[in-house]
Amino acid sequence: MTGASGFVGSRFVRAMLGKYELLVPTHAEFDITSARAVQRYIDLHRPDVILHLAALSNTGYCEQNPKQSYEVNVQGVENLASVAANYDAKFVFFSSDQVYNGNEEKGLLQENVPVSPENHYGRHKLLAEQRASELCPESVALRATWMYDSREADLPTHDNFVLNVKRALKEKRPLAFATREYRGITWINEVVDNLPHTFVLPAGVYNFGAENLFNTYETACAYCAMLGVDSRDTIIADTERFPLHERNISISMQKAREASGGAIHFSDTLEGLRKYEKHLASCR
Ligand SMILES: NC(=O)c1ccc[n+]([C@@H]2O[C@H](COP(=O)([O-])OP(=O)(O)OC[C@H]3O[C@@H](n4cnc5c(N)ncnc54)[C@H](OP(=O)(O)O)[C@@H]3O)[C@@H](O)[C@H]2O)c1
Determine, yes or no, domain membership for 33.
yes
CA of 225 to the centre of ligand 1 (A): 32
Residue of 261, 145, 138, 280 lying closest to 223 (CA atoms): 280
Q: Which amino acid is it at 208?
A: F
Decide: 100 in ligand 1 pocket, CB within 6 A: no
pTM assigned to the model: 0.98
Alpha-carbon distance of 180 to 183, in angstroms, equals: 10
Q: What is the pLDDT of residues 239-281, one digit of tens each?
A: 999 998 899 999 999 999 999 999 999 999 999 999 999 999 9
Determine, yes or no, domain membership for 166.
no
* Domain membership of residue 35 as a residue range: 7-151+176-283
pLDDT of 127 reads: 98
Decide: 54 in ligand 1 pocket, CB within 6 A: yes
Q: Using the 8-state DSSP alphabet, how is residue 152 labeled? A: B
51 in helix, strand or coil?
strand
Determine, yes or no, domain membership for 2.
no
Q: Where are the beta strands (DSSP E) in 157-279?
A: 175-178, 181-182, 185-187, 204-208, 235-238, 247-248
Determine, yes or no, domain membership for 191.
yes
Q: What is the pLDDT of residues 145-167, one digit of tens each?
A: 999 999 887 899 999 999 999 99
Q: Which amino acid is it at 170?
A: K
pLDDT of 213 reads: 97
Q: What is the pLDDT of residues 46-97, one digit of tens each?
A: 999 999 999 999 999 999 999 999 999 999 999 999 999 999 999 999 999 9
pLDDT of 204 reads: 98
CATH of the domain at 120: 3.40.50.720
Tally the domains of the chain: 1
Residue of 4, 11, 6 lying closest to 26 (CA atoms): 4
pLDDT of 177 reads: 98
Determine, yes or no, domain membership for 62.
yes
Decide: 40 in ligand 1 pocket, CB within 6 A: no
Determine, yes or no, domain membership for 159.
no
